[in-house]
Amino acid sequence: MAISIGDKIPNVQLKALINGDVKEISTQELLKDGKTVIFAVPGAFTATCSNDHLPGYVKQLDAIKSKGVNQVICLAVNDIAVLKAWAESNNATAITFLADGNAELTKLMGLDIDLSAVGMGVRSKRYTMMIERGSVAKLQIEDSPGVCQVSSAQSLLQLL
């Protein structure tokens, strides 16, 4: 069952790219203060993620933060080296990238999807989530990994 509004985010240790630097950090530490937006993608450098999802957040980052959001995080079931290259190639280093390489957090939240049929293995569903002081305040999950509608930056701005 997927995580829902009001639930606490599970505490796991992950690697994050924060202001261009790679750090090991717990989700509890990363999400403890203020409002955080997490948008999750099935995979860095994939078509919908690279053409629609990430660019929307890069373009709308200032508008999102102007709504009282402290940080914007992109979560993917990729390793941190891939996420660092993806962030740099998209001029997106103002966004924090969270590498859930083994899908540990993703599985604990019930937001995993098996994309083995297309050679990608277990990945994250595409979603956007607002977290306030470690708990889910808003959650929009896409019905299909190839679609970026309810999880887009524009849809998020309408929720804020």
Cα 35 to Cα 133: distance, rounded to the nearest angstrom: 7
Point out the catalytic residue in the list 14, 31, 38, 49.
49
- CA–CA distance, 3 with 118 (Å, rounded to integer): 26
Beta bridge partners of 39: 74, 128
DSSP 8-state symbol, 134: T
What is the torsion angle, in degrees rounded to the nearest 10, for the CA atoms of residue 23, residue 160, residue 9 and residue 91? -20
The verdict on whether 74 is a catalytic residue reads no
Cα-based distances in Å from 5 to 58, 67, 134, 136, 158: 26, 20, 11, 5, 18
Query: Tokens 């998209």 appear where?
Result: 90
CB contact at 8 A, 71 and 97:
no
Please give the positions annotated as active site.
49
